[in-house]
Structure 1
């Protein structure tokens, strides 16, 4: 990932604010998506792949695209579906914009896709999810964490965790570690940060932990010493910093400069805080800190290591969490399509889409971000890695 874009841009708005203006205009052009039975009768099946491939959040869309394209390439190379059909990817750039995302979605509906990997960021993903309900198009997002994404219809699934899930998880981990007093510092203008923070605080209190203070800052701030001084005065056992790695790196570094030697906790926004293109905090300062994520190259699981090897061979670079989630999102969708092709009992295009949705909901895949299945909603049931830092390197502390 490039270093001049913050991941905070990735997960803006849960949808109600971002989509509050012009909802009717966004969806007025949406058709019934009746499609054509010819979409499932040829030698290929069209699958959509959409995301921001230009604009401010392009690096995340491109990472997801790389992962998804790698899986599709491997799938086709192995012969495609059990019926012998290959996947024809319809790739479209929505530029990180909700209105453009709906336009892209409509083009894919007109192309009679049998499913879509996308979208990537939360606001466009929610717009697409709303538009897709009447068409019953199977959607699998790699990375949209906003809870609202799956609430509109049963056709939408995600490969990633939600913000509230991560907050609860890290509070449970804090309790397991025996911490008694915790504090938090978070970007009050970010839905991702606030969502993780609020869930952490709620669960921490349930677990009997004392939340001594919640310090907030504004988007774009670079000096956190005033907030950190207030935190240090509370003498916490641990501090939750559920932000993105550029901010978290500054926060940890400044806290060490002020003399705080305790534990920092984070969510998946910490990925790439060290060991990527740039170390946002030193390995020494990160010693003893923890965050949750679904993918890390330190994982010696055979699926992970094979994926890393394949990704490097294809793109000549190391994969990130977004690449891995894109790979798994494509795996989820194509595994379901393969089952429908194997069963061979879809009556028509509309029935085919519903069977793909049902296959996702009832299926299970061994992804590079863990074993993924669903239990009544579009949120995945999957294990979570807790990553620690030791001697300047990341390691897996535990799996929850």
Structure 2
């Protein structure tokens, strides 16, 4: 009996020690975004798949921004640690990555995804877990305002202008090229469809005529059928809001069919791969709306370009890199102003952003978490970008 009593007492002591250990440091989870002496930020980028060049440039610029901030002492006296995963340019995987970053890595805030479709898939995750997301580059209006309820998505913020603004700007510019326009839309892409809608509405409101509207599959290689239809309508200009892979093939085939009218595109054109796919000789008389140009003489722009090139083997940062640099710095700025790594405090600081000094132009975030800023129209000439026009206040 005595041995049994001693055994039971020993067992009780072991259980008590186990419970104490579980309630102490070893078994406890750190608060969101605060593990040790680091501030945890998640990176949810398209590092492989059809828009991998975008994901890589945005990730590079995010790394550059946080490295610069850490070299100056970090934020709140702590370095920022960036935890990255590849969402593979896939909507479902983007949501999975967001879930993993929030629930397993316990980050305070996320940067990315890049595309509107992937970012839209992240909204339910961010809303459920109440963790803010800053997309540097997703331009769909639906990212920050729910199209059904018309309510602001509380945990979504962006550093780029909206498709509605971009589509209107493209139409304003297109009217200077002619009164008849054709629109080519990627049928599987919210980004492309939204831009086509805003362009068409504005172009017609300005007195222009949409003579053709065709949908294409971005995974196709042969676009001769729809281009032949467009050529028959004799447009003055063709609007092609899509990503660089499909754009390159379409423009090349259009020129081969003798279509010489101007093509006007969107920020999805901004990739060095475009010239590789289309051929430099086929990109004359081509224009696209964009967030910035590395040729801008502004000292802040040139300092960014120089730093990016120094860190990434002479690569010239595209507009998505510039936006990601701004987005990462915006995150750090919000944490500083919040004085906290708690997601709710960061969310409130982001919403209160005023006169943020961005590389892509100083901006404030409005009531829908969208920046008010300018847009640049870029002309492609001999494979190089030239500023054709800068538009504000549309």
| TM-score under structure 1 length normalisation | 0.78
Q: Tell me the equivalent position of 1:319.
A: 317
Query: In the comparison of the two structures, how many residue pairs are matched?
Result: 354
Q: Tell me the equivalent position of 2:336.
A: 338
Q: Tell me the equivalent position of 1:163.
A: 163
CA shift digits 1:189-208 (9 cap, x unpaired): 33322221122111111111
Q: Tell me the equivalent position of 1:355.
A: 345
Q: Which of 367, 371, 377 is the aligned partner of 2:358?
A: 367
For residue 264 of structure 1, report the CA deviation from its aligned partner: 1.5
Q: Tell me the equivalent position of 1:45.
A: 39
Q: Say whether the 8 Å CA contact 2:244–2:274 is kept in structure 1.
A: no
Residue 85 in 1 paired to residue 82 in 2?
no
For structure 1, the residue ranges without an aligned partner over 5 or more in a row are: 1-34
Larger gyration radius, structure 1 or structure 2 = 2
Q: Say whether the 8 Å CA contact 2:183–2:238 is kept in structure 1.
A: yes
Q: Distance in 1 between matches of 2:142 and 2:30?
A: 30
Q: Distance in 2 between matches of 1:80 and 1:271?
A: 31
Report the more deviating stretch, 382-391 or 146-155: 146-155
Q: Tell me the equivalent position of 2:378.
A: 387
Q: Tell me the equivalent position of 2:18.
A: none
Q: 1:58 to 1:258 in 2, by over 3 A?
A: closer
Residue 235 in 1 paired to residue 234 in 2?
yes
Q: Distance in 2 between matches of 1:257 and 1:133?
A: 48
Residue 388 of structure 1 aligns to a residue whose secondary structure is strand
For residue 291 of structure 1, report the CA deviation from its aligned partner: 0.7
Mapping for residues 1-400 of structure 1, pairs under 5 Å: 43-54=37-48, 57-81=51-75, 83-110=76-103, 111-151=105-145, 153-175=153-175, 177=176, 179-272=178-271, 276=273, 278-316=275-313, 317-341=315-339, 352-363=342-353, 364-400=355-391
Which structure has more RCO (C-alpha within 8 Å, separation ≥ 6)? 1
Q: 1:370 to 1:249 in 2, by over 3 A?
A: same
CA shift digits 1:181-225 (9 cap, x unpaired): 212223333332222112211111111111112133333333334
For structure 2, the residue ranges without an aligned partner over 5 or more in a row are: 1-28, 147-152
Q: Distance in 2 between matches of 1:186 and 1:325?
A: 25
Report the more deviating stretch, 243-252 or 135-144: 243-252
Residue 334 of structure 1 aligns to a residue whose secondary structure is helix
Residue 130 of structure 1 aligns to a residue whose secondary structure is helix
Q: Tell me the equivalent position of 1:27.
A: none
CA shift digits 1:81-117 (9 cap, x unpaired): 3x42221222233444445444443443344422111
For residue 318 of structure 1, report the CA deviation from its aligned partner: 2.8
Q: Distance in 2 between matches of 1:124 and 1:290?
A: 26
Q: Distance in 2 between matches of 1:169 and 1:370?
A: 17
CA shift digits 1:253-305 (9 cap, x unpaired): 33333333322111112213xx5585333444433321101133233322222
Residue 138 of structure 2 aligns to a residue whose secondary structure is coil
RMSD: 2.8
CA shift digits 1:9-44 (9 cap, x unpaired): xxxxxxxxxxxxxxxxxxxxxxxxxx8668569643
Q: Distance in 2 between matches of 1:57 and 1:207?
A: 33
